[in-house]
Amino acid sequence: MSNTINVMLVDDHAVVRAGYNMLLKNASEITVVAEASSGEEAYQLYSTHKPDVVVMDLSLPGIGGIEAIKRICSRDSKATILVFSMHEEVIFVEQALQAGASGYITKSTDPQLLVEAIIRLSKGEKYIDAELAQRLAYEKSRGQDSLISDLSTREFEIFCMLAEGSNTSEIAKRLCLSYKTVANYSTQIKSKLNVSTIADIARLAIRYKIIQA
């Protein structure tokens, strides 16, 4: 029997997936057993392939990466998910870990670290990008979380979608929630962030580099 690490790649860009695939071919310990291009697909393929480690981008169409992590982890509490994201902001690390991820690295890191991180996670360890871990610790120690990190997982998710220009009913549809639920969340988010319009939400999101202008 082999003790190879079975990995599933989740990224909506086929080119990027192909690149990772080739990178990981150089690592003999690792076998890519599945690829998904959306959160929904990831969730389904996870069930059929049960990979040891999921390498997941956060910006995905449909249900985003965070929601995909939540669903996979609620289905299988032992799921091991490595977030491999372009976002270099602490807030994303917090949210991803809260959703159930076991590791977080950014696409700026040395390619070799992707392999390293996958191996670490497969052993049950955690692995967080060194610089982000530092910043996370530093900000935590100074209690310097932005208002945004007060948002719950769901709140944050809806916050992002509002900032990106989705309206209440679109969000409800995408997240399979009642319109009312999203509307109520929207009100609560504004209250927590101390703003009164969606424009303020968008600007906050851009200021904190959660979305791009």
Partner DNA sequence: TTGTCCATCAGGAATTTTTCCTAATTCATT
Partner DNA sequence: AATGAATTAGGAAAAATTCCTGATGGACAA
* Contacts with DNA, residue ranges (CB under 7 A): 152-155, 167-169, 175, 177-181, 183-187, 190-191, 196, 198
| 64-81 per-residue burial string, b: 16 or more CB within 10 A, e: under 16 | bbbbbbbbbbeeeeebbb
185 binds, among DNA, a copy of itself, none (CB under 5 to 8 A by kind): DNA
The beta-strand segments (E) located in the chain are 5-10, 30-36, 53-56, 81-85, 103-106, 127-128
Query: Which of the listed partners (DNA, a copy of itself, none) does 184 bind, with a CB threshold of 5 to 8 Å by partner kind?
Result: DNA
Query: From the list 74, 75, 86, 140, which residue makes contact with a copy of itself (rule: CB under 8 A)?
Result: 86
* Minimum separation from the CB atom of position 134 to DNA (A): 24
Measured from the Cβ of residue 32, the count of other Cβ atoms closer than 10 Å reads 19
Contact partner at residue 19 from a copy of itself, DNA, none, CB < 5 to 8 Å by partner kind: a copy of itself
Binding mask 26-65 for a copy of itself (x = CB under 8 A): ---------------------------------x------
Choose among a copy of itself, DNA, none what residue 22 binds, the Cβ cut-off being 5 to 8 Å by kind. Answer: a copy of itself
Q: Contact with a copy of itself (CB under 8 A): which of 111, 179, 187, 191? A: 111
Helix (H, G, I), strand (E, B), or coil: what is residue 34? strand
Contact status, residue 38 vs residue 46, Cβ threshold 8 Å: no
Reference 154, options 128, 179, 177; nearest CA is 177
Contact between 14 and a copy of itself by CB under 8 A: the answer reads: yes
Residue 116 carries which side chain, given as an amino acid letter? E
Cα(83)–Cα(114) distance, integer angstroms: 10
Q: Which does 165 bind (CB under 5 to 8 A by kind): a copy of itself, DNA, none?
A: a copy of itself
Q: Which of residues 128-167 bind a copy of itself (CB under 8 A)?
A: 162-167
Gap between the Cα atoms of 213 and 211, Å rounded: 7
